[in-house]
Chains A and B, each alone.
Chain A
């Protein structure tokens, strides 16, 4: 029942998003704008991987803090959350939203990485290690941003509050993931990245468990 309802919430969010394209369209534009700014800032110079990795993660961070709150904010703004509250438990709502945000983040990040590599001539020497770090980093990014999205959807001035609240919570993840992707792009062996991956996995688990435990307090008004 829990899994079925989570899947239904996920499917509902996905089909309503595919129909309105509210988040996707603006995020696609956002990604394009960010990547072009990076392109114009670098110009024809050859930037090294230390700087490029940082720029890549700036693009990823700001894309996620401009898009991932939408799924909760919309439920509050359109007053559909009451209908959802009376139809299913809070657990399936948070799992459904986590699934939706993961789908969104993974597809957007694939796009960001693709455009970034094309535009800036970013060399990744250890691609499998890089992708492994990216996947675990994204999982943690999604679970932290989703619970914070749930919190800010009930507050005023949602847009500005979201990056302010997300940044300190995401910082341990960002520091680790930037460091690990930098090492991977410079060609470090995957087993050298094991320590970083351990941190990313435990961050994901800790934040997800805390979200699942705390979400019911956020969800009831």
Chain B
């Protein structure tokens, strides 16, 4: 089993002259989970974006290593899964086409991809809708599809930004189930204010402490 580790060293982010957070250090390895807390607008999403490599920090460094070998910065995305409100899938493509496209980008061969897509679609009970365009999905269904997008390539690190958004209780159960499963071997980071979500993680950090 691959072991994964992420080390953040003294991260700081300044936006329009405003300090979002500073000197944030964090070290997580396989099996660790952490929740990020903070008021609305405190910068939880910014931190998740920086950790997942979508935006860069003003200061500090992030190192992802697999089996103790550092992953080059431009390949970090291959180890990361993300579910968040600012990540959308393609509206005009069907659920199946979306997943097929993103799996195709991350895998060298097509072998077994269809089985995997069908397995996950069944799991979130979207299999019947697989050939409908995402445009016609309800927001809860979209959220479930995004959950599949985040975990289908078995990333080492899973970031969840407000994972419960728009989901019914059944959907939330699926999220928790997925998160618990991921925690066994991977790293889980949840940005949330939901009390139930916090219980998923072994510890929590409050972003207000780094202002």
CB within 8 Å of B: which residues of A?
A: 1, 4-5, 8-9, 12, 15-16, 19-20, 78-80, 82-83, 85-90, 92, 216, 220-221
Residues 59-97 of chain B: 1 if any A CB is under 8 Å from the residue's CB, otherwise 0? Answer: 000000000000000110100111010111111110001
Query: Counting CB contacts under 8 A, is B106 at the interface?
Result: yes
Most buried by A among B89, B93, B104, B149: B104
- A86 engages B80 (CB within 8 Å): yes
- A1 engages B108 (CB within 8 Å): yes
Residues on B with C-beta less than 8 A from A19 are 92-93, 133
Query: Counting CB contacts under 8 A, is B1 at the interface?
Result: no
Chain A binder among B47-55, B117-125, B180-188, B190-198? B47-55
Query: Counting CB contacts under 8 A, is B102 at the interface?
Result: yes
Residues on B with C-beta less than 8 A from A216 are 74
- B90 engages A12 (CB within 8 Å): yes
* Given the contacts A12-B101, A87-B105, A220 and B56 also touching, CB distance less than 8 Å: yes
Name B77's contact: one of A9, A12, A20, A87 (CB within 8 Å). A87
* Given the contacts A83-B102, A85-B77, A220 and B54 also touching, CB distance less than 8 Å: yes
Residues on A with C-beta less than 8 A from B87 are 79-80, 82-83, 86
Residues on A with C-beta less than 8 A from B52 are 86
- A16 engages B92 (CB within 8 Å): yes
Most buried by B among A5, A85, A87: A87
Residues on B with C-beta less than 8 A from A79 are 86-88
- A5 engages B105 (CB within 8 Å): yes
CB closest residue in chain B, given A13: B90
| Between-chain CB contacts (< 8 Å), 23 pairs | A5-B105, A8-B101, A8-B104, A12-B90, A16-B92, A16-B93, A19-B133, A20-B92, A78-B90, A80-B88, A80-B89, A82-B82, A82-B84, A82-B86, A82-B87, A85-B77, A86-B52, A88-B77, A88-B105, A89-B75, A89-B77, A90-B74, A221-B55
CB closest residue in chain B, given A11: B101
CB closest residue in chain A, given B81: A86
A84 CB to nearest chain B CB (Å): 8
* Given the contacts A8-B101, A89-B74, A83 and B91 also touching, CB distance less than 8 Å: no
